[in-house]
Amino acid sequence: MSENSDQNLMFRFLNEIGIIAQLSGNALEKVMPGGMTMPQFTVLNHLTRLGGNQTPLQIANAMQVTKGAMTNTLGHLERADLIIVVPDAKDGRSKRVDITDAGRRAHAMTISALGPEFAYLSDMFPDSRLKEALPLLEELRKVLDARRN
Amino acid sequence: MSENSDQNLMFRFLNEIGIIAQLSGNALEKVMPGGMTMPQFTVLNHLTRLGGNQTPLQIANAMQVTKGAMTNTLGHLERADLIIVVPDAKDGRSKRVDITDAGRRAHAMTISALGPEFAYLSDMFPDSRLKEALPLLEELRKVLDARRN
DNA sequence: GACATTTAGTTTGATGTTAAACTATATAGT
DNA sequence: ACTATATAGTTTAACATCAAACTAAATGTC
């Protein structure tokens, strides 16, 4: 290689993104109630938005993680009674996931707890600045997702 | 909370960042030789840039991970003989980390292997676009880092 | 100098992730 | 119908992360 990787702008860019993901995920999890984690919250969020009745694979694809990772996360949520998982009547290989009332409560409480954290960050970084950068991030995400498959 | 977290721009922003970190780290590790991982490569990169003689804590702070995480990563690198760790002569609590010749070779080989991947991504996203977004990311990183301590 | 506090690093236990092997069921081809 | 292939989900092994408890050494206080 002729150039140092530090001089590679894409490398620096992805490096910043990696550290931000780490630090922000950590900061948010620290204020979440009841040992809730980001992956767990994201699944609850997904079920709330879409109204449940999702298959594990659909959720895994939406989160862009492997099925194995989703098996793990759904297991935690189910053991905490925040979701309910039932066999799919039409397809013996598949399952259906729904959020429970306790799950809805935990979801709402988590959003509440996250409020001050987002307020602080949104104050430091107004929406206008985020809006400028978001299209690049979305494109990059799509490119990486396409390349993965 | 009055607003759905999905309507929160900061949430969407951090969500994209989280997924990009996941997908990009994964894509890069897949082409790295000899089971090299991103954290391991980043440490080798750091030692190469700074010329070694770093303490584990200095490296952990630079990577912005906990000391425990660094103990783990340095252990892997040391067992693979890519770094050498010696007690600090001046401070009995501390250690000094240096990259080995094998570590330098592994570092160079990894950068080579990463070339095509970065070429592809840099082609899709020219430096000009990255440069626009980088200041926001760097600021966000600093804010999160400051908030952490 | 003795004791308290701070600092560097390790360990532990829980969480998350991937890739790959595996099970069970569904679908397609002949 | 039979057989082969594809799909949904689980399991395993290896890696990473954090927080918190822990050890050992240095520093600060009195």
Residue B102's pLDDT band (cuts 50, 70, 90)? very high
Q: Which chain A positions have a beta carbon within 8 Å of B120's beta carbon?
A: 147
The pLDDT, as a whole number, for residue A149 is 62
The pLDDT, as a whole number, for residue B1 is 45
Closest-CA residue of A relative to B42 is A15
Q: Which of A10, A18, A132 sits opposite B122 (nearest CB)?
A: A10
Q: Is the pLDDT of residue A3 over 70?
A: no
Q: Is the pLDDT of residue B5 over 50?
A: no
User: Separation of CA A95 and C1' D8 in angstroms?
Assistant: 8
Closest-CA residue of A relative to B63 is A19
Q: Are B17 and A17 in contact (CB under 8 A)?
A: yes
Q: State both tokens at B84.
A: 């050498």
Q: Which residue has tokens 């630079």?
A: B62
> Does residue A67 reach within 7 angstroms of strand D, measured from its CB?
yes
Put simply, the chain A residues between 41 and 100 with a CB less than 8 A from any chain B CB are 42, 45, 49, 63-65
Q: State both tokens at B79.
A: 């067992």
Q: How far apart are CA B24 and CA A38, in angstroms?
A: 19
Residue A147's pLDDT band (cuts 50, 70, 90)? confident
> Does residue A69 reach within 7 angstroms of strand C, measured from its CB?
yes
Residue A4's pLDDT band (cuts 50, 70, 90)? very low
Q: What angle do CA A19, B21, A43 make, to 5 degrees?
A: 110
Could you report the per-residue pLDDT of B46-98, keeping only the tens digit for each?
999 998 899 999 999 999 999 999 999 999 999 999 999 999 999 999 999 99
H helices of B3-126, where?
A: 9-31, 38-50, 56-63, 67-79, 101-124
Q: Would the pTM of this model clear 0.85, i.e. be above it?
A: yes
CA-to-CA dists, residue A51 to A21, A46, B94, angstroms = 27, 8, 54
Q: How far apart are CA A118 and CA B104, in angstroms?
A: 42
